[in-house]
Structure 1
Amino acid sequence: MTRNTRQKAAIREAFEHADRPLSTDEVLAIAQTAVDGLGIATVYRNIKALVDEQWLMVVELPGEAPRYEISGKAHHHHFRCDKCGRVFELHGCVPAIEALAAPGFLVRTHEVVLYGLCVECGQPPAA
């Protein structure tokens, strides 16, 4: 049985309000606004519990620390901003992406990550 604490509730709310994959540092920064004194060890412990409960799932991008997002969402891909490092969900999928595999290959699953500038980072500086 897992306990529902103020810290765990603040961590859940961080994911619900962000509605995108979060790193542990992002979770800490967001959840600290609701719970003074929240530490990174508590964030790690609660994220592990939420993954074990299958409320969260791990999002792995090549060469980066894992991020986490709420489980149970429809199939989707991710976009990582080169400037701010945030990761966003891209809803939907490229039609017939499996057709890229050579004849005779059987595609089980796939991941697509797009890289570039998010809407905030891609804006030209104000004059």
Structure 2
Amino acid sequence: MTVSPTTRRSTRQRDVISRVLDHAEGPLSVGDLLTRTQAELPGVGLATVYRTVKLLCDQGTVHPVTLDGETLYEASGRGHHHHFSCTACGRVFTLHACPVSIPAGSVYPGGFVVEAHEVTLYGRCPACAAP
């Protein structure tokens, strides 16, 4: 008997990985997710993190974010937002205010019709910018 992803039982590993993503200040790489999960569950392995992230993506509770060619993951349902990538420490933060006002349906020269937009700002986060 095959169990669908939406009816799979909850596990401690899945619960911790979900909680780590829910409380992250921005999207996380699989490596960051593994490190943070292992702080609570030292025995969790990389394969478990990959399987869990895939399951959570399939369920729609997590979605991938691609920044600079790397796939990161964040909890879904956070509404319209963008990201800030710190060039000093490498952390990525969620920005809840949109720095660009481009309404869906806008038409740019050449006939490009905007459906959505993504913005990533780069610089130093408050901790790295502090004197």
> Shared fold by TM > 0.5?
yes
5+ residue gaps, structure 1, are none
Which residue of 2 is the match for residue 82 of structure 1?
Answer: 87
Which residue of 2 is the match for residue 71 of structure 1?
Answer: 76
Which residue of 2 is the match for residue 122 of structure 1?
Answer: 129
Aligned to 2:82, the other structure's residue is in SS state strand
Alignment counterpart, residue 12 of structure 1, candidates 18, 32, 52: 18
Higher share in strand: 2
Which residue identity lines up with residue 109 of structure 1 in the other structure? A
1:11-90 correspondence to structure 2 within 5 Å: 11-63=17-69, 65-90=70-95
**Shift in Å at residue 96 of structure 1?**
3.4
Which residue of 2 is the match for residue 111 of structure 1?
Answer: 118
Q: How many residues are treated as equivalent by the alignment?
A: 123
Q: Distance in 2 between matches of 1:96 and 1:15?
A: 28
5+ residue gaps, structure 2, are 1-6
| TM-score, normalised via structure 1 length | 0.87
Aligned to 2:63, the other structure's residue is in SS state strand
Which residue identity lines up with residue 123 of structure 2 in the other structure? G
**Shift in Å at residue 119 of structure 1?**
0.8
| TM-score, normalised via structure 2 length | 0.85
Question: CA RMSD for the aligned pairs?
Answer: 1.8
Q: Distance in 2 between matches of 1:33 and 1:59?
A: 24
Aligned to 2:74, the other structure's residue is in SS state strand
1:88-99 correspondence to structure 2 within 5 Å: 88-93=93-98, 94-96=100-102
